[in-house]
Amino acid sequence: MNPRGSRLHRLGLLLALVGFLPGCATKGPDPLERWNRSIFSFNEGLDKHLLEPIATGWDWLLPEVVQTGIRNFYDNTTMPVTLANDILQLKLGAAGQDLGRIVVNTTAGIGGLIDVASMIEMPANKEDFGQTLGRYGVPPGPYLMVPLLGPSTARDVWGYPVDGAARPLNYFVPIWASLTLRVVENFNIRAYYLEELREARESAFDYYVFVRNAYLQIREHRVHDRAGQPPELQDDLYEMEGEDAAGQPPESQDDLYEFEDD
């Protein structure tokens, strides 16, 4: 089997699948809510019955130092993705720093197992193709829940094929090996967030909306490089009357003709 051919095939399928999305008429941030909610509950079911139990065992079985090592190793293999997007966004200082990280961690950090770079004050940047598109003014478009992969948007979903192509590992090891690594990292990272996710699920009033809102906020924040909330999201967030809050379902207008009591 020719791995490059299969990759291109996958890429083509994904593009065909999402190509029409940016063209959809957008009403609020989630015009695909029905599809998204059903995929979300599918993903949630998978998590509850498969990922979470395995991750719990994983967490119990593996010492923290092993979990950290796996996370560091995986992060180091994906660092070239950030590097490529640093360059695409013309952030050359960050690119230099991230290149330095890869060199330091791959050598002194024994193939990436130890995050030496962070210890010597070379923190990791985090860039992906969705952020690059955002930086050049592409709006996120409709919120999109992807089977198995989780929350995304019509813009961010392009990161899967494009950033996948920027992972050098994909070119040097067979596809089953890089897939195995991703699955392993999935259990590993899930184990890392066992408690946080359980708390988030329990405390949310509507977990689907909670995840959607958090995802969209985090992505906007990253696109704008942490420079506060962009005006589009902020909207009337800090206004008392909040007359036209974005993303409110039309039903909440049912007070439109009621008398106000203050």
Partner 1 sequence: MTSTSSKMTRNQWIRRSAIGLVAVALLAAPAIADDAAEAEAIVRTTVDQVLEVLAIEGLNDDQRRQQIEKIAYDRFDFATISRLVLARGWKRFSPEQREEFVEQFKIQLSKNYGSRIIRYDQERVEIVDHRLERDGDVTVGTRIDGGAADGIEVDYRLRRKDRKEDGPWMVIDVIIEGVSLVASYRSQFAEVLGHEDPSELLKQLREKNTASPT
| Residue range at the interface with partner 1 (CB under 8 A); choices 52-60, 79-87, 95-103, 197-205 | 197-205
- Contact of 169 with 33, CB cutoff 8 Å: no
44 touches partner 1 (CB under 8 A): no
Q: Which of 111, 205, 232, 257 binds partner 1 (CB under 8 A)?
A: 205
Instruction: Please state, in angstroms and as integers, the Cα–Cα distance from residue 5 to each residue in 70, 157, 171, following that order.
Output: 29, 21, 12
The nearer residue to partner 1, 2 or 252, going by C-beta atoms, is 252
Applying CB under 8 A, does 56 fall inside the site for partner 1?
Answer: no
Least Å from the CB of residue 118 to partner 1: 8
Q: Left if phi > 0, otherwise alpha if psi is -120 to 50, otherwise beta: which for 150? A: left
Q: Distances from the Cα of 182 to the Cαs of 47, 70, 150, 178, 186, in angstroms? A: 16, 11, 14, 6, 6
Task: Answer yes or no whether residue 185 interacts with partner 1 by CB under 8 A.
Answer: no
Of 57, 148, 204, 232, which lies in the binding site for partner 1, with binding defined by CB under 8 A? 204
Closest CB 171 distance from partner 1, rounded Å: 31
Q: Where are the beta strands (DSSP E) in the chain?
A: 143-146, 150-153
> Binding residue for partner 1 (CB under 8 A) from 25, 121, 240, 257?
240
Minimum distance from CB of 98 to partner 1 (Å)? 15
User: Among residues 1, 20, 252, 257, which is the contact residue for partner 1, using CB under 8 A?
Assistant: 252
Token pair, residue 146, equals 């992807």
Residue 60 or 205 having the CB closest to partner 1: 205
* Of residues 135-154, those binding partner 1 (CB under 8 A): none
Helix (H) or strand (E) holding 115: none
Amino acid at 178: S
What the block records as the tokens of 124 is 């990791």
Instruction: Measure the CA–CA gap between 214 and 240, rounded to whole angstroms.
Output: 22
Q: How far is CA 248 from the centre of its chain?
A: 24
Amino acid at 132: T
Per-residue x/- track, 219-238, partner 1 (CB under 8 A): -xxx---x-xx---x--xxx
Answer yes or no whether residue 121 interacts with partner 1 by CB under 8 A: no
Which residues contact partner 1 by CB under 8 A? 123, 198-199, 202-206, 209-210, 212-214, 217-218, 220-222, 226, 228-229, 233, 236-243, 245, 247-249, 251-252, 255, 258, 260-262
